[in-house]
Amino acid sequence: MKMLSLLLQKQISVAAVIVVTVVGLFIATEPVLSQTNRDVLCAGVVRIDITPEKPVHMSGYSRPEGLSQGVHDPLSARVVAWENKGKRLVLISTDILGFYNGTADYLRKHILDEFKLKPSELFLSAVHTHSGPELAIDKTKSHANNLEYTKGLKDKLIKAIREAFRTMGPVHIGVGAGCSPVGINRREMRIDGTGWPKASKFIKCGRNPYGPTDKEVLVMKVAKPDGTTLAVLFDYACHSTALGNKSYIFSGDLLGLAEQFVERILGPDVTAPAFAGASGDINPWVCTLPEFNTEPGWIPEPVLLATMLGEEVVTIFRDIKTLTPGGEISTAFITMELPKKKSEIRGYKIPESKGNTVSLNVIAGRVGDVAFIGFGCEVCTEIGMAIKAASPYKHTFVITHCNGAASYLPTKDMHKEGGYEVISSPFAPQAADMVVKQSLKMLYVL
């Protein structure tokens, strides 16, 4: 009897050890399960410095004096990585011009391979500052410092994304909208002595206060369940061209300076990624200045405009009272083959491309009831406004300079008028309508 009692106690002890072990394993794995199998929206946010450490060729304009000469304000990359039930979405905003010279494919391939992401899960975008470094991968055409910078940027982005996934945790989100006047339609009509438009090239880059302008500022708040803000994403349709080709110092320009303003006001633990909306024909109210005006009492225009935009972002952010937990993630990606501009269109330059079509990457994503649609080109504002108006979502972030750099996408009517956007575009007049239809199709099936 005594032996039976000892045997029974031993079995109970073994059973207890098994129970404790199983419970311990469950507790250890529970956070992973919450991020991959359960309906818990998680996010990780990272901001890194990407200011060049060496002089490089700058992008956006032809600068005959050569390499960069200094830094006005630091350039950054901002990453927001999302995950829910095994589905992921990575949004990246970089303070550069864009991903020209084949660098979009180069960077995307390395990032996709490193994290086993689907093409539809990566929005690699730029704020389109014309006061940033030129990205380059061609050793025969590029300065050694630009080649080194681009490789370093690739490594920095991978490290930042890894950190965003590593620090990921449950979040709640909310969205608000406002407006800002700092962007202005730039397609200004020239009038000749008779009072009529000039016969050729009568549209110039200037100021057209009566032209279409998407003044909407979209803001998304990302916060921990306890209310601590992690990120403030915002979207606005405007070129970052307050500075011109005589400026040789780095700056995030309009959108980059607005990011910095928001982060200063809301604190160092808040990251504020900006996304350039459909702004192919939209410039800042003051454009292409030679430098920051340091005259006593004068507020430099890039800073003034960025502060106005930044204050609107913060105001919208502070009005977001409702935050929602959860939220499904859905994504889609397509490379469209769009008709190429015909040589018989009088006065229009034909950008180099092979065949009769031009490739354009289009990406769509959804986090909860907020949609994102990205284009690998410079989309003119009427196109973005049409997509937002017909979108099935109340809030749709239109993101340009995303996953590619296929030049300008003007509307069909712009092709009748001419102008820089049309001259620079490789696309035929019907391409814009095709892109709108494809975008809406993607948004409706997310």
pLDDT tens per residue across span 215-232: 999 999 999 999 999 999
The pLDDT, as a whole number, for residue 326 is: 85
Residue type, 353: S
* Range 29-57 average pLDDT: 77
* Range 281-303 average pLDDT: 97
- In this predicted structure, which of 72-76, 201-205, 237-241, 395-399 has the lowest mean pLDDT? 201-205
Which ranges in 183-252 belong to alpha helices (H)?
none
Residue type, 300: P
Angle between helices 431-445 and 381-390 (to 10 degrees): 30
Distance (Å, whole) CA 272 – CA 235:
10
Distance (Å, whole) CA 127 – CA 302:
14
The pLDDT, as a whole number, for residue 349 is: 58
In the chain, the percentage of residues whose pLDDT exceeds 90 is 83
* Range 153-163 average pLDDT: 98
pLDDT band at 4; cut points 50, 70, 90:
very low
pLDDT at 351 over 80: no
Sheet holding 357-367, edge to edge: 329-339, 357-367, 370-375, 395-399
Could you give the 3-state DSSP secondary structure of residue 439? helix
In sequence order, the 6+-apart residues with CB closer than 8 A to the CB of 443 are: 364, 371, 373, 387, 391, 392, 393, 396
* Range 244-262 average pLDDT: 98
Nearest CA among 59, 61, 76 for reference residue 143: 59
Nearest CA among 353, 342, 334 for reference residue 435: 334
Per the DSSP assignment, residues forming a β-bridge with 189 are 203
pLDDT band at 342; cut points 50, 70, 90:
confident
Tokens 């982060």 sit at which residue? 263
In sequence order, the 6+-apart residues with CB closer than 8 A to the CB of 99 are: 107, 124, 126, 135, 376, 401, 403, 404, 405
Nearest CA among 215, 192, 212 for reference residue 202: 192
pLDDT at 29 over 50: no
pLDDT band at 190; cut points 50, 70, 90:
confident
Tokens 């009748």 sit at which residue? 416
- In this predicted structure, which of 42-51, 178-187, 311-320, 345-354 has the lowest mean pLDDT? 345-354
pLDDT at 65 over 90: no
CA distances from 150 to 87, 127, 136, 140, 146 (A): 29, 17, 6, 15, 6
Nearest CA among 406, 379, 389 for reference residue 277: 379
Could you give the 3-state DSSP secondary structure of residue 329? strand
The pLDDT, as a whole number, for residue 189 is: 84
Name the region of 116 (left: φ>0; alpha: ψ -120 to 50; beta: rest): left
Q: Which tokens is 438 given? A: 């494809």
pLDDT band at 346; cut points 50, 70, 90:
low
pLDDT band at 176; cut points 50, 70, 90:
very high
Provide the residue ranges of all domains of the chain, joining segments of one domain with +: 43-326
* Range 27-41 average pLDDT: 50
Which ranges in 78-224 belong to alpha helices (H)?
103-115, 144-166
**How do residues 367-393 score in pLDDT, each as one tens digit?**
999 999 999 999 999 999 999 999 999
pLDDT at 28 over 50: no
Q: State residue 258 phi and psi, 5-degree precision.
A: -65, -40
The pLDDT, as a whole number, for residue 64 is: 86
Q: Which tokens is 199 given? A: 């016969």
In sequence order, the 6+-apart residues with CB closer than 8 A to the CB of 130 are: 58, 59, 60, 61, 97, 239, 240, 241, 243, 244, 245, 253
Contact status, residue 373 vs residue 362, Cβ threshold 8 Å = yes
The pLDDT, as a whole number, for residue 34 is: 38
* Range 270-294 average pLDDT: 97
The pLDDT, as a whole number, for residue 18 is: 34
The pLDDT, as a whole number, for residue 243 is: 98
Distance (Å, whole) CA 371 – CA 186:
28
Average pLDDT, the chain: 90
In sequence order, the 6+-apart residues with CB closer than 8 A to the CB of 364 are: 120, 331, 332, 333, 371, 372, 373, 374, 439, 442, 443, 446
Distance (Å, whole) CA 46 – CA 287:
31
Q: How many CB atoms lie within 10 A of CB 99?
A: 24
Give DSSP secondary structure letters for 150-193.
Answer: HHHHHHHHHHHHHHHHHT-EE-EEEEEEEE---EEE-EEEPB-T
Distance (Å, whole) CA 253 – CA 262:
14
**How do residues 77-131 score in pLDDT, each as one tens digit?**
999 999 999 999 999 999 999 999 999 999 999 999 999 999 999 999 999 999 9
How many Cα atoms are found within 13 Å in the side-chain-facing hemisphere of 50?
36
The pLDDT, as a whole number, for residue 227 is: 96
pLDDT band at 311; cut points 50, 70, 90:
very high
Distance (Å, whole) CA 111 – CA 113:
5
pLDDT at 195 over 50: yes
* Range 63-68 average pLDDT: 91
The pLDDT, as a whole number, for residue 344 is: 52
In the chain, the percentage of residues whose pLDDT exceeds 70 is 86
